[in-house]
């Protein structure tokens, strides 16, 4: 296969910059947990691409599924259904609780959340939507309105009725109440504030069961039961956005299975497509029927496309056949042990949290004050790339500097150990450089 010829212009010369700094290497190839740049240098991927390549890059079964789709159909008129789409709807229904039985297949997580919000509003006849501080639900207008971690500045008014609850972040308690473990006080205070602001039109709460971009925030036991009770008291639907937590990342098919609470609407995306654009909005027969009767419309150019559906079926097959849920828990524990070892070695690591293959590492200037160390966080992340490890800083700003670490579910023990070693070296290098600079 030929490689496209490039000019000597800077790589980003004709590209719109979209909020992330471009890595100073062009990537030519990706397989499993490893990517290679155009000069042949190897980089270990601890972000699963954009959190999507959960089976590793270019998994053979995904490649095979793409070939199968090429023999059938890649794209159809939106009113046409194909065997892969019907099969995928049946497969998801078999994995989910009985009331989550109707699926709409789209391209991105933002699209699936837009559809969920529209369903919630149409079904309830209300318009107010509550999200959590630290949440990330996408960059389309409705989803962006309930993003509270980033992306809100400079675009004018958000969607009317967008309200926020404090996330259960015990490391930085939003109501300055907890220090070591969240006791849920923030939730009760938050709903008191919601009630004070509401115009009486509360439609839904949308939440990630474990906040990912918001800093890998794992709620305490019983938390989602309390959220569900607050929703039921006010006649609100509960929407779980499992873009980053479903299909093995936390060691279960769906993160809500860990917490014992089932949503009224479930959105899926990144982990369902295995690296291809694939998303789903799933709800009950009753909600679907009511929305249909009221004229629900969410047709897109690529709704119900056969190609990504074929790939999603392959993802679910591999997840089951290779027992990747159990593997994610085992490899996740190995990763967590390695990160806690680094915490013991490096004062800059204030907190390690998460479970399965979704781990968060918070970087601080001082462990007691818990002030974020944004500058050194960026420097260490850059040094990791130089040493051959792709890392992702999230929640960068005045509140936190946190690595979201999420290797593919197929990552090997040796690759985890190698990543920990590179991270150790990168921290050591940057801290030493800072010490020398201070001495001079």
Task: Annotate 63-85 with DSSP letters as a single string.
Answer: HHHHHHHHHS-S---TT---HHH
Question: Per the residue annotation, which of 114, 208, 305, 373 is the catalytic one?
Answer: 208
Mean pLDDT in residue range 129-137: 95
CA distance 206 to 241: 7
Q: How far is CA 330 from CA 50, 129, 137, 226, 326, in A?
A: 22, 37, 28, 30, 6
* Residue 176 a catalytic site member: no
Tokens matching residue 404: 């979201």
Range(s) of the chain covered by CATH 3.40.640.10: 72-321
* Residue 351 a catalytic site member: no
* Residue 257 a catalytic site member: no
Confidence of residue 7 (pLDDT cuts 50, 70, 90): low
Question: Per the residue annotation, which of 45, 136, 327, 353 is the catalytic one?
Answer: 136
| 110, 271 contact by CB (below 8 A) | no
CA distance 244 to 250: 9
pLDDT in tens, 68-117: 999 999 999 999 999 999 999 999 999 999 999 999 999 999 999 999 99
Residue with tokens 């933002």: 110
pLDDT at 433 over 70: yes
Range(s) of the chain covered by CATH 3.90.1150.10: 27-59+323-439
Mean pLDDT in residue range 390-407: 81
pLDDT in tens, 137-193: 999 999 999 999 888 889 999 999 999 999 999 899 888 888 888 999 999 999 999
* Residue 244 a catalytic site member: yes
Question: Per the residue annotation, which of 121, 270, 327, 353 is the catalytic one?
Answer: 270
Evaluate whether the domain defined by 27-59+323-439 bears CATH number 3.90.1150.10: yes
* Residue 425 a catalytic site member: no
Question: Per the residue annotation, which of 121, 228, 234, 404 is the catalytic one?
Answer: 404
Confidence of residue 440 (pLDDT cuts 50, 70, 90): low
* Residue 241 a catalytic site member: yes
| 346, 427 contact by CB (below 8 A) | yes
Q: What is the DSSP letter of 218?
A: P
The CATH number that domain 72-321 falls under is 3.40.640.10
């Amino acid at each position: 296969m030929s490689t496209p010829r490039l000019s000597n212009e800077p790589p980003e010369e004709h590209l719109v910059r979209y909020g992330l700094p471009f890595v100073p290497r062009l990537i030519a190839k990706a397989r499993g947990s490893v990517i290679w740049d155009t000069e042949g240098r190897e980089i270990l991927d601890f972000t699963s691409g954009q959190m999507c390549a959960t089976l590793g890059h270019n998994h053979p079964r995904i490649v095979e599924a793409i070939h199968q789709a090429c023999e059938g159909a890649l794209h159809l008129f939106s009113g046409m259904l194909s065997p892969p789409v019907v099969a995928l709807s049946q497969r998801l229904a078999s994995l989910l609780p009985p009331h989550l039985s109707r699926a709409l297949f789209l391209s991105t997580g933002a699209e699936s959340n837009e559809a969920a919000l529209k369903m919630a509003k149409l079904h309830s006849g209300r318009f107010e939507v509550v999200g959590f501080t630290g949440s990330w639900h996408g960059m389309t207008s409705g989803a962006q309105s309930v993003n509270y971690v980033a992306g809100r500045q400079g675009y004018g008014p958000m969607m009317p009725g967008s309200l926020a609850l404090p996330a259960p972040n015990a490391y930085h308690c939003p109501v300055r109440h907890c220090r070591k473990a969240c006791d849920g006080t923030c939730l009760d205070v938050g709903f008191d504030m919601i009630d004070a602001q509401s115009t009486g039109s509360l439609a839904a709460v949308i939440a990630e069961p474990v906040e990912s971009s918001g800093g890998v925030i794992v709620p305490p036991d019983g938390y989602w039961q309390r959220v569900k009770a607050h929703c039921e008291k006010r006649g609100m639907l509960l929407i779980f956005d499992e873009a980053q937590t479903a299909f093995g990342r936390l060691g279960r098919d769906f993160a809500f299975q860990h917490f014992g609470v089932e949503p009224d609407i479930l959105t899926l995306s990144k982990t369902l497509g295995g690296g291809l654009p694939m998303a789903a909005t799933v709800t009950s027969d009753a909600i679907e029927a009511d929305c249909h009767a009221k004229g629900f419309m969410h047709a897109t150019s690529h709704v119900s496309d056969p190609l990504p559906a074929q790939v999603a079926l392959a993802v679910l097959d591999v997840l089951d056949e290779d027992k990747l849920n159990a593997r994610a828990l085992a490899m996740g524990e190995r990763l967590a042990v390695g990160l806690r070892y680094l915490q013991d070695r490096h004062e800059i690591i204030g907190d390690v949290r998460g479970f399965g293959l979704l781990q968060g590492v918070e970087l601080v200037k001082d462990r007691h004050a818990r002030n974020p160390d944004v500058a050194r966080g960026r420097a260490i992340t850059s040094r990791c790339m130089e040493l051959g490890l792709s890392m992702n800083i999230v929640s960068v700003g005045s509140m936190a500097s946190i690595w979201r670490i999420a290797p593919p579910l197929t990552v090997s023990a040796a690759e985890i150990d190698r990543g920990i070693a590179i991270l150790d070296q990168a921290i050591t290098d940057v801290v030493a450089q800072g010490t020398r600079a201070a001495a001079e």
